Every structure is written in C-alpha cells, then in structure tokens.
Amino acid sequence: MRQLNVLVVDDSKVNRLVIARLINNLGHLVTEANNGVEALAYCERQLPDLILMDVIMPEMDGLSTTRKLRARYTKQWIPIIFLTGKSDQEDVLAGLEAGGDDYLTKPVDTKLLAAKIRVMVRIAEMQQRITQDAKRLEAYYHANQMEQQLAEHVLDNLYGDRQEGALEQWIKPTVQFSGDIITVAKSPAGTLHFMLADSTGHGLAAAIACLPAATVFYAMTQKGFGIHAIAREINKKLKQQLPVGRFVAATLVAISPLERTVTVWNGGIPYAAFINEAGEVERRFDSTHPPLGILPNADFDPSVEVFRWSRPGRILVCSDGLTEALDGDGQPLDMADITALLAHKLADKVIDTVAAKVGSHLGRSENVDDISVVIAPCSNSHAPQPNQVQPASFTQLANWEIRLTFGPRELRDDLGMPTLLGWLNQIGLNEQQFSDMLLVVTELFTNALDHGLLALDSSDKDSSNGFTHYLTLRQQRLAALQEGRIQVAMRRDGDLLRLSVQDSGQGFDLNKLHSQPDNAKHGRGIALIHRLCRQVSYHDGGTRAEVAYQL
C-alpha cells in the first residue's frame, strides 16, 4: 500500500494528536488543520490523498467545508471520512449528502479507522487506474481522429480527378471514413478507366487496404495497360500485401469513345450495367470473378466483357451498400427505380437525383454498409464536369431503446458492428463516452461471434503462427455460418446506458477467463470492460453479457 498524505481537520488538539499517531503508525504522513478555513487553505496549496473531518468546529464546520471542497475540485476525488460524536441517522445522512464518503463516531475505534483507511486507499488506487485508462482512451480517440483526417486528405489526392470524363460519383459512408474508393484516369490512348473498389470492413483500415489497388491502377493506366492486365496486377499485389481475411471487391471499366465500347472486369461488385438515355438496361455486367486478393495469380482469371453501344447511355456501377440498403420495413431498394432515374440526356446530371432517391428509401434508417455509386457517360466525347457529392446524414436521438438481432446472413456480411456503431454515433455521447462504449460494444460483440457462434479459442493467438491460423479459421467458419444469432439490446436508464449482448451458441468459458495468466495476449478487453463499466455480469453459461455504463 502506497504512503498517503492525510489531512486531519479537528478543533481538538488532543483528538488530532491521537489520530495523527495512529496514522503515522500505519506508515502515512499527517497534516493538521484546526478548522475548515485552514483545511481549505491547505488544499489550495496541495491536495491530500485523504481527509479525516470533524463536523462541529469554529469558523467553518465540517459539512460546509466538505461542500466547498466538492464544489472546487470536481475533477479530483478526495476521500473524506467524518469523525464526530453525533451518531443519529439524520447526522450520518447529512454528512453523506454534503459529500462525505464514510462516517465514524467518537471515540474513534482505531482498528475500524485503520480498516476504513485501507478501503479508501484501494478505492483511490482503482479510481486512479480508471482515470489513467480513460485518458489513454481519450488520447487514442483524438489521435485516431487526426490520423483519419490526414488519411482522408492523402487519399482524396491519391484517387485523382474524379471529374475526368464527366464522371459522376457519390459515396455515403457508414462510419466516419469510407472503405469504398473510386479512381478514374485516362490512358495515353484516351480511353477512360475507372474503378470502384470495396474493401472488407469499413473505415480507415478498409481504405488503407485499397491503397495498393489505387497505386497499381494509376501507374498501369498511365503506361497504357488494359484493364485485364491491371486487374491481374492488383490481385497479385493485394494477395502479397493484405493479411489473411482481407480482400477487395472491385469493378474495373474502360470506356473508349472512339470505338464506342465498354470493357468490364467485375469481381464481387453486385451491380454494373449500361443504361441508355431512355432509362433502359441494355447490358448487365454481373460479377463473374471472386474479389481481388483472394486467388493466387496462377488461378486468376483476367477475362473481361466487352459491349459496343449503338445509342448513347451511361455505365452505372454501385456497391452492395446500395443494393442491400433497407428501408424502415426491411425492404431492399428496387434497382429498377434507380435505372429509371437515368432516363435523361447525357448533358443532364443525375447523381443528385440518385442520392435523393436513396435517402428517401432509407428514411430514418442508417445505411449498414458504405454506399458507392459511379455514373459514367458513354458518347463520342467526355468533357470534364463538376462533381457533386451528397453529404452523409446524421441524426441525434435524445430518448431511445433498441433491440437488434443479427442472423447468419448479417454476420457473414459483417453488418453487426457497423449497425451498432451507427447507433452509437446517434445517441448523443460525448467523445469520452463514445470511446468507452465503442470499446465495450466491440469487445462483447466480437466475443459473442468468435467464441459463442464460431467456437474459436483466443488462446490460439498466443503462438507465433496462431494469429494467422485464428483469422483463417474465423474466415472459414464465418463463411460457412448457417445457424445462430446474436441479440443486442441497448437502452437509456436514467444516467446509465445498459447494454446486453447474447449469442445462441456456446458463449465463452468464464473459468478460462478468470484463470488466464497475466502475460496472456488475449482477454485484456474483458478486464478493461470491468474497469470502464459500473456493472458487469454474465448469465446463461456465458452466452449473455450485461453491462451498465455510467453516463
């Protein structure tokens, strides 16, 4: 137990002497004050670790002194124990309501006082650890914000001039930073190349996974390579550089105004089509390849589809965030409604109309995946036009309750955390609360999925090759998941935010959690949850976790 600086406030010199001797014998330092005025003056110079406060004193009594201390030092917690001859319940309650933490009657039982000091030391040490953890989380959050702003600036410059060839584009991210990218450039021969790429996951990590694809796209387009060769090289780079479980769905398009041809390589993007000025779909380019970065280059298929248009029209490419966007009733967007919006002359801009249609479809619902749309005109010329971007919507909710169930399909498509993160972004949390709850929700949801439904063992991560094996096994089991669900409930309960996460699987082993060694590379998230939350409990054999977070 560390040495404390204890302030004893009592107008009786004899009482101060007795208490000071006891505290010195316990190995702590003692400072004395004759009344509340002296106590406040001392605290202005140096805050003690613990205050033993008499109630009845001249000039300023203990209750008034305690109220002033609590009002002045709102960011520091100083344990205050009242020492007084009054023992009525009303007197005890008055002391606690004034800001005291405990109460002892005179004559003081030295053993009881020593025990209470030890308790206050433990509480103070725990409070210090929580404060340090909170500061680290806050620092991480702010650093992450700065990194994302820098990354956005760099990536916006890297992805080039999106106005090239009068191309229209719109991205509606599901989190602060979009994991979808759009690149566009002209080849030396005047062919317009563009790529819509959608990395696994969301946010900055997903955008970084697209960086090799963007770099190869620009370099090879400038050198005159066709999109089939560009797709092969991107696949090679992603296979070499991305970790197991990361890949990039992409559609690469080449538009030749002179030849009036569209060449398409589609690996994992759900919708690509040529639509004429009457709004009619003349050609669909379905995904015939797996996403980039999955297959070794020896097994990669670079074959493309080529379409020659006879009437001017537009190429429409969109990510699964659009095709799977659900309205308030859980109904997907009808792509025929989108293609009908393209029934305009090429000189007319249509992206704002598309964005408005998507917004109307979503209503108050949040998109659970990044929405990306590219519309490129197909004519004999491609004059650059200004690009218009529809900003993402944001709505804060003052009072709310939510219950969500994620089935196999939602879990395989990685829709769980983006949905939950969308709610966290809308319930009015401040920066620190958001940082705390993001950690708590992520940890509990990941435990429910990895251990409850996928039956993975975190101890596999501790070996040299275990983490790679863990990710590989996770990908395989998640892809094969056909049964099971995760239920998440969140609600506001006064000044508490209550969260419950339950899986229909085996849960996680509580005995293994409590018996793991201190140097284990897993399980630290659960320990941090216990420090961040006011209440943490586990039920039904580890399949249900409940926490209460103090707002």
Provide the domain limits for residue 483: 399-550
What H or E segment, with its residue span, contains residue 315? strand 313-318
| One domain for residues 188 and 312 | yes
* 391-410 mean pLDDT: 71
Going from the C-alpha of 169 to that of each of 42, 89, 180, 214, 389, the distances in angstroms are 65, 70, 12, 16, 7
Residues 97 and 202 in one domain: no
21 inside domain: yes
CATH number at residue 527: 3.30.565.10
Both 213 and 307 in one domain: the answer is: yes
Residue 384 is predicted with a pLDDT of: 41
In one letter, which amino acid is 246?
R
Instruction: Assess if residue 156 is contained within a domain.
Output: no
Q: Is residue 392 part of a domain?
A: no
**Same domain as 410, residue 467:** yes
Q: Within this chain, do residues 414 and 274 fall inside the same structural domain, yes or no?
A: no
Asked if the structure places residue 425 within a domain, the reply is: yes
Residue at 11 is within a domain: yes
Q: Are residues 503 and 439 in the same domain?
A: yes
Residue ending a domain, among 109, 130, 151, is 130
pTM of the model: 0.47
My answer on whether 319 and 233 are in the same domain is yes
Neighbouring C-beta atoms of residue 236, cutoff 10 Å: 18
Last residue of a domain, one of 82, 110, 130: 130
Tokens of 288: 């015939």
pLDDT tens digits, residue range 272-312? 999 999 999 999 999 999 999 999 988 999 888 888 898 99
For the cut 80, the answer to whether the pLDDT of residue 533 exceeds it is yes
Higher pLDDT: 548 or 157? It is: 548
356 and 409 housed in the same domain: no
- If asked whether residues 308 and 413 sit together in one domain, one would say no
Rg of the chain taking only CA atoms, in angstroms: 31
What's the CATH code of the domain at 97? Answer: 3.40.50.2300
333 and 412, same domain (yes or no): no
d(CA 20, CA 290): 76
In a domain, 148, yes or no: no
Q: Is residue 394 part of a domain?
A: no
Q: Is the pLDDT of residue 124 over 90?
A: no
* HSE, side-chain direction, 13 A CA sphere, residue 105: 7
Last residue within a domain, chosen from 130, 148, 178: 130
The CATH code of the domain that includes 279 is 3.60.40.10
- The pLDDT tens digits for 335-346 are 999 999 999 998
Same domain, 172 and 58: no
Flag whether pLDDT at 163 surpasses 60. Answer: no
300 alpha carbon, distance to own chain's centre: 34
At residue 318, does pLDDT exceed 90? yes
Tokens of 197: 């790429």
pLDDT in tens, 11-45: 988 888 888 988 888 888 999 999 999 999 999 99
Other residues' Cβ atoms within 10 Å of the Cβ of residue 462: 15
User: Please, which pLDDT band fits residue 497 given cuts at 50, 70 and 90?
Assistant: very high
Q: Are residues 230 and 294 in the same domain?
A: yes
Mean model confidence pLDDT for the chain = 83
Cα(458)–Cα(466) distance, rounded to whole angstroms? 9
The residues near 271 (Cβ < 8 Å, ≥ 6 apart) are 316, 317, 318, 322, 323, 335
Cα separation, 122 vs 275, in Å, equals 70
For every residue of 457-489, DSSP letters joined together read -GGGGGSTTHHHHHHHHHHHHHHT--S--EEEE
Token pair listed for 275:
């639509």
Structure-model confidence comparison of residues 416 and 353, the more confident one:
353
The b/e string for 498-519 (b: 16+ C-beta within 10 A; e otherwise) is bbbbbbbbebbeeeebeebeee
Split into its structural domains, the chain has a count of 3
**What's the pLDDT tens digit per position in 248-260?**
999 999 998 877 8
Of 182-191, 294-303, 320-329, where does mean pLDDT reach its minimum?
A: 182-191
Residue 197 has pLDDT above 70, yes or no: yes
> What are 238's two structure tokens?
């992603």
Q: 17 φ, ψ to 5°?
A: -65, -45
Q: Is residue 502 part of a domain?
A: yes
pLDDT at 282: 93
Choose between 280 and 412: higher pLDDT. 280
Reported as a single tens digit per residue, the pLDDT across 52-72 is 999 889 889 989 999 999 999
pLDDT level of residue 400 (50, 70, 90 thresholds): confident
Does position 388 have pLDDT exceeding 70, yes or no? Answer: no
